[in-house]
Amino acid sequence: MIVGDANLCELSTFLKVGTTAIVLAMIEDNALENDLSIYEPVRALRSVSRDLTCTSPLELRSGGSATPIEIQWQFLASAKKYAERTGLEHCGGADVGAEVLRRWEEVLTDLEGDPLNLDGRLDWVTKFCLLEQFKDRDGLSWSDPKLALIDLQYHDVRPKRSLYERLVQAGKVERLLSEEEVERAISRPPDDTRAYFRGECLRRWPKSIIAANWDSIVFDVGSGSLQRVPMMDPLKGTRNHVEALLNTCDTPLDLIERLGSPLP
């Protein structure tokens, strides 16, 4: 996940998070059919990042080798069987899980056929096509520092300087979300995880919160010691669980007194 923290294409992030969620679920349920562990993963990561054809074989711990695409196809085959047996409700919901599988297969098919078909959908392809345009237009070599600068400018988080943002404005990048949905997500977390409780507390009582982590919120209620509310279960603290409770509380102290224990 950290390796891809510079992703800007929405499909890249959707597949990165979605496929990881499904594979983790399969690992938890002991549903992976084959050992696809790579013998030297760090070296393989470097190799794959420089292989625009996605065809360089990688050595597997179980013996033999496979290309990155072959490994992905095996993961996808296992994921489809897992979805048929178990469903994907716990992987973002059945509809989202099905869309992950569909898009996963679509991308692998294009990578196997012609990766350039993914221009505007995957970052590395989109950026390669952009760099190639600058290279051909200005007669540059691939080692020219101007291309290195363009490489960085693609990811610039400032909209007016971001080359990715220019592609978005030109309609050359596939969007999965509307601008309204993006703006809402900045201040409104998902309703169906503990993020709802954390987000609502931050929205209602921002000056009273000392710390907010994955698994707890620490309040300063104005007197005595700081009060910590644990949130150990990712699936508790949802809108259904706590909205009514929060609506009865005018202050953080009201919330602490009504809870009296970890989230219901």
Q: Are residues 1 and 109 in the same domain?
A: yes
* Amino acid type, 81: K
Predicted model pTM? 0.85
Domain assignment of residue 264, yes or no:
no
Q: What is the pLDDT of residue 116?
A: 95
Q: Are residues 63 and 38 in the same domain?
A: yes
Torsion of CA 54, 59, 63, 68, to 10 degrees: -20
pLDDT (tens place) for every residue of the chain, 264 residues total: 566 678 999 999 999 999 999 999 999 999 988 899 999 999 999 999 999 988 999 999 999 999 999 999 999 999 999 999 999 998 888 999 999 999 999 999 999 999 999 999 999 999 999 999 999 999 999 999 999 999 999 999 999 999 999 999 999 999 999 999 999 888 889 898 899 999 999 999 999 999 999 999 999 988 788 999 999 998 889 999 999 999 999 999 999 999 885 555
Q: Are residues 82 and 128 in the same domain?
A: no
Q: What is the pLDDT of residue 147?
A: 97
CB 208 within 8 A of CB 216: no
Domain assignment of residue 241, yes or no:
yes
Tokens of 48: 């794959």
Look at residues 94, 114, 134 and tell me which one is the last residue of a structural domain: 114
Q: What is the pLDDT of residue 92?
A: 85
Q: Are residues 24 and 78 in the same domain?
A: yes
Look at residues 71, 99, 114 and tell me which one is the last residue of a structural domain: 114
Domain residues for the domain of 157 are 119-176
Domain assignment of residue 182, yes or no:
no
Q: How far apart (Å, rounded) are the C-alpha atoms in residues 258 and 261?
A: 9
Domain assignment of residue 184, yes or no:
no
Domain assignment of residue 138, yes or no:
yes
Q: How far apart (Å, rounded) are the C-alpha atoms in residues 59 and 127?
A: 28
Q: What is the pLDDT of residue 243?
A: 95
Note the Cα 62 to chain centre separation in Å: 29
Q: What is the pLDDT of residue 132?
A: 97
Residues in the chain, overall count: 264
Q: Bridge-partner residues for 228, per DSSP?
A: 218
CB 15 within 8 A of CB 104: yes
Q: Work out how many domains the chain is built from and give that number.
A: 3
